[in-house]
Amino acid sequence: MQNRSSAHPNAKARIVPQNNEAEQALLGCVLIDEYAPNEILSMLAPEDFYTTAHQLIFEAMKNIYAENKPIDIITLVQQLESMGSMEAVGGINYLTSLSNIVPSASNYAHYLEIVRQNKLRRKIIDSANKIANVAYAGDEDPMSYAEKEIFALGEGNFRSTLKPISESVGEAIERMEMIERDPLFFKGIPTGFKMLDNLLNGFQNGDLIIIAARPGQGKTSIGMNFIQAAAFAERTTETGKKTPIRAAVFSLEMPAVQLARRMLCSVAKVDMTKANSGHLGSNEWNRLMLAKTKLDKANIYIDDTSNTSPVDIISKCRKLKRERGLDIVMIDYLQLMSAGKRVENRQQEISDITRTLKVAAKELNVPILLLSQLSRKVEDRKEKVPVMSDLRESGAIEQDADIIMFLYRQYSDNDKNISDEERNAVQLIIAKHRNGQTDTIDLTWHGAYVSFEEKDAALPKADKGGKTDNKPAPAEHLEEKPIPKDIAEAIEAEESEPVAARTREEILKVKPGSSEEMPF
Catalytic residue among 253, 476, 494, 517: 253
Integer Cα distance of 129 and 272 in angstroms? 55
The CA distances from residue 184 to 168, 435, 439, in Å, are: 22, 17, 22
Ramachandran angles phi, psi of 353, nearest 5°: -65, -50
Residue 360 near residue 317 (C-beta atoms within 8 A): yes
Strand ranges, E, within 304-420: 328-332, 368-373, 403-408
State which amino acid sits at residue 342: R
Contact 449, 434 (CB under 8 A): no
Q: In the annotation, is 492 catalytic?
A: no
Q: What Å distances lie between residue 98 and 2, 29, 73, 75, CA to CA?
A: 20, 9, 10, 15
How far apart are alpha carbons 490 and 373 in whole angstroms? 45
What φ, ψ does residue 292 adopt, rounded to 5°? Answer: -60, -45
DSSP letter, residue 447: G
Rounded to 5°, angle at Cα 253 from 249 and 257? 65
Peptide bond before 301: cis, by omega within 30 degrees of 0? no
The Cα 392–Cα 405 span in angstroms is: 14
Q: Within 10 Å of residue 230's Cβ, how many Cβ atoms?
A: 29
DSSP state of 494: T
Provide the strand spans (E) within 266-338: 300-303, 328-332
The answer for residues whose C-beta is within 8 angstroms of residue 372's C-beta and 6 or more apart is: 210, 211, 212, 219, 333, 334, 335, 391, 392, 397
Burial label, 179 (beta-carbon count in 10 A; 0-12, 13-18, 19+): middle
Active site residues: 253
